[in-house]
Structure 1
C-alpha cells in the first residue's frame, strides 16, 4: 500500500526487495548469533524500532533512494526478529517440558498473525482514502514501536549465555556447525519460506487484475483469511508433500486468468502454502539441539533470502506465472525430502 502512489515501476520495486534481501543475506546469521549470545527478547525490541525507522524513511523521503534506505532499515529489523522469536517460543516451552506443543502453538501464532491482517486492511483503506500513503506510513511507524513495547513484556528463560557463557564468535560457529547435520530440514525451510516473497506482490497483482488502488486492501482481504485457515489446519493435520504442488498450480491458474475473480485462486494458493510452511518450520525447531537455536534458524532464513533473489527476477520477467512454476519445483524437492 505504501508504494501504490510512489510512481515506482515494477522493476524498481523488485530492485528494492532485492536490496532488502541483500541486507538480510549480510546480517541474518550474525543477528541470530546476537540473539543467542545476548537476548532474544532484546533483539525483538530492537527489531520493531528499526522497522519503525524504515517506515519513517519511506514517508519522509518518497523517492527510490529514500525507499532503498528504508528497506535497509526494514531488513535489519527483520534479521533481528528472524530466529529470535522462534527460539524464544521453543525454549520457553522446553523450559516446562512442553516442546511437543511447539507445532500447534506455531500454527496458532501464524493463524493470529494472518487474521490480524484483515482489520489492518480495512484500516489501511480508510487511512489511504483520508491521507494517502503518508498517513498509512506514520501509523505503521506507531505500530512497529508498539510491537517493541509488547516485546519488552515477553518472558525469556535463563540460558547459559551470560557473562560466563560462550562468546559471540563461539555461539556463531556453534550455530553454523549444527546446521550441517540437519541440512535437509534447513533446506526445506529455506526453499518454502522464500515463497513468502510472493506476498509482497499481492497488491501489485490485484492492481494488474483491474482492481482500483483504493479497493486493493479490501479486495485481498480474503487471502490472509485463507492463509490463516491453512496455518491452523497445519497444527492438526500431518504434512502432505502434494499440498505445496497444488499450491503452485493454483498460482499458475490465477496468473492465467488475470481477472478479479482470480483472487480466489490466489487465496487458495496462499492457504495451501501456509499449511506447508508451518510444518517445515516446526520440523526444523524439533531438530535443533544446541543453544544456538536462533542462529540455526537464521541460516535457514538466509537461504530463503538467496532463493528470493531468483524469485524477484522471475517476477520481472514472468510475474506470478514464473513464481508459480518455481513453487512446483520447490514442491518436488520438499516432497522428496
Structure 2
C-alpha cells in the first residue's frame, strides 16, 4: 500500500511542480530585466557546475539518510527560487536563484527515481518502471502545457510578474505534497550500506560500471541528448522572436513542443521491448543532429518543424536511459548511481553551454544551434560504434 500511495503523491507533486507559467515568458522576463544571452548562458553554467559538485553527495545522502527528506528540501528551495526571481533586477539575483534551483535539482534528481523504483518494487511492480516514469512525465508535460497556455494569456494582459506569483503558489503546493510521501522499507542490503563510509558508495559505483560496461554508452547517450534538448527548452523563445513569430503565439507553441513529447514518454516501454534501447537511442541522436543543423541553416519559420521533430524524438530519452540503469542496480545505491547520470548530464551541459554561448555571441542563437547539431552528430558516430561492440 505504501508503494501505491507514493505513486499517487508523486503524480500530484509532478503536476504542481510543473504548473509554472513563468517558464513560458522566462527568457523575455529575464531580458526585460537586463539579462543578455551570454549572461543567461553564464547562469546555465552556474546551474550545471553546482549540480556537478552536488549530485554525487546528495545521491549518497539520499541513499543513506532519506529520499523523502531530500525531496522536501528540493521543493523548499524551489519556493525560494521563485521568491527571489520576483524581485530580481541584477545578474547576482538571477545567479542566486539559479544556484538554489541547482541545489534543489541535485537534492531531488536521484532521490525521486530511487523512491519511485523502490515504491514499485514494494508493490511488486518494478518491471513497470519505464511505463510509470513515462506516465509521470506525461503528467509533467500536461501540467507544463496548461501553464504555458494560461501563462501567455496572463502575461499579455497583466505583465510578466503575475506568472511568477502563480509559479510560487504552485511550488508551495508541490512542497505540501512532498510531506505526504512515505519512505519505502529498506532492504537488508540497503541497511548494511547505511553504516558504511561514503567512500564505499563511490567505490561500489566504480565497480558497477566496470562490471556493466554496456551501461556506460547508454548513460552517455542520455547525457548528451538530454543536454542538447535543454537548449530547445531554454532558447526557443529567442529563436521564435528572431524568425518573426509574435509573443502572443508563444503559449500555443510551448504547449505544442511539450505535447509532442507525450508519445515518446508513454510508448517508450513498448518500443523498447520491440526495438531495444540502443537502436532507439541511436535514432534519437540522429534526429537531434539533423534537427539542430537545420535550425542553424534555415533562419525562418520552417525551422519550427525541426523543433517539433526534436521534441518528438526527445520524449524517448529519459524513460529509456533511466530504465536501462535502474533495472541493473540494487536499492542500496539507487539514488547514488542515478545521481551519476544527472552529474554526467550536467557535465555535458557545461561543455555544450560553452560552445553554444561562444557561437551564439558570434552568429546569434542560430550559431549556437549549429554547434549543438555538430555535437550530436559526433556523438552519434561514437554511440553507433560503441554499442555495436557490446
Flag whether TM exceeds 0.5 (same fold): yes
1:302 aligns with 2:343: yes
Report the alpha carbon displacement of residue 47 of structure 1 after superposing the two structures with TM: 0.6
* Alpha-carbon distance change, 286 to 192 in structure 1, aligned in 2, over 3 angstroms: farther
Using the alignment, how far apart are the partners of 1:6 and 1:224 within structure 2? 27
- Residue 230 of structure 1 corresponds to which residue in structure 2? 264
Q: Relative to structure 1, is the Cα distance of residues 8 and 104 closer, same or farther in structure 2, using a 3 angstrom cutoff?
A: same
Structure-1 residue corresponding to 2:295? 254
Aligned partners of 2:78 and 2:171 also within 8 Å:
yes
The residue aligned with 2:235 is 201
Q: How far apart, in 1, do the equivalents of 2:126 and 2:383 lie? A: 24
CA distance in 1 between partners of 2:319 and 2:378 (Å): 19
Question: Residue 180 of structure 1: CA displacement?
Answer: 2.7
1:258, distance to aligned residue in structure 2 (A): 2.5
Deviation at 1:174, TM superposition (A): 5.6
8 A contact 2:224–2:376 mirrored in 1: no
Secondary structure, counterpart of 2:131 in structure 1: helix
Check whether the contact 2:291–2:307 (CA below 8 A) recurs between aligned residues: yes
Give the TM-score normalised by the residue count of structure 1. Answer: 0.92
Q: CA separation in 1, counterparts of 2:197 and 2:169?
A: 32
Q: Is 1:212 aligned to residue 246 of structure 2? A: yes
Query: Where in structure 2 are the equivalents of 1:59-98 lying within 5 Å?
Result: 59-98=86-125
* Other-structure match for 2:143: 116
**TM-score, length of structure 2 as denominator length:** 0.80
The offset of 1:163, in angstroms, is: 10
| Separation in structure 2 between the aligned mates of residue 39 and residue 171 of structure 1, nearest angstrom | 18
The answer on 1:329 being equivalent to 2:378 is: yes
Q: Note the alpha carbon deviations across 1:161-207, whole angstroms, 9 max, x for none.
A: 67994256256436633553345144333333322322222222222
Whole-angstrom CA distance in 2 between matches of 1:292 and 1:98: 19
Corresponding position of 2:309: 268
- Could you list the runs of 5+ residues in structure 2 that have no partner in the other structure? 1-24, 360-366
Q: Distance in 2 between matches of 1:280 and 1:329?
A: 19
Partner of 1:3: 27
The residue matched to 2:26 in structure 1 has which SS? coil
More displaced 10-residue stretch of structure 1: 309-318 or 292-301: 309-318
For 2:85 and 2:197, how far apart are their aligned partners in 1?
A: 33
Q: Is the 8 A contact 2:263 2:312 kept in 1?
A: yes
How far does residue 44 in structure 1 lie from its aligned partner after superposition? 1.1
**Equivalent residue number for residue 28 of structure 1:** 55
Distance (Å, rounded) in 2 between the aligned partners of 1:56 and 1:171: 39
Superposed CA deviations along residues 78-125 of structure 1, whole A, max 9, x for unmatched, are: 111111111011111112332111111122222221222211101211
The Cα RMSD (Å) is 2.2
Structure 1 residues 85-94 or 270-279, which shifts more?
270-279
Q: Distance in 2 between matches of 1:228 and 1:169?
A: 38
Is 1:231–1:278's contact at 8 Å kept on the other side of the alignment?
A: yes
- Candidates 221, 224, 235, aligned match of 1:188: 221
Which SS does the other structure have where 1:292 is aligned? helix
For residues 210-232 of structure 1, the C-alpha deviation after alignment (integer angstroms, 9 at most, x for no partner) is 22334323233211111112222
Closer, same or farther in 2 for the Cα pair 1:163/1:149, shift >3 Å? farther
CA deviation after TM superposition for structure 1 residue 2, in Å: 2.6
Shift in CA distance, 292/173, structure 1 to aligned 2, threshold 3 Å = same
Within 1, Cα distance between the matches of 2:197 and 2:173? 29
More helix by share: 2
C-alpha separation between the residues in 1 aligned to 2:106 and 2:284? 29
Do the aligned partners of 1:17 and 1:312 also contact (CA within 8 Å) in 2?
yes
Deviation at 1:66, TM superposition (A): 0.6
Counterpart CA distance in 2 for 1:49 and 1:104 is 28
Match for 1:12 among 20, 30, 39?
39
Aligned pair in 2 of structure 1 residues 162, 142: CA closer, same or farther (>3 Å)?
A: farther
Relative to structure 2, which stretch is displaced further, 14-23 or 132-141?
Answer: 132-141
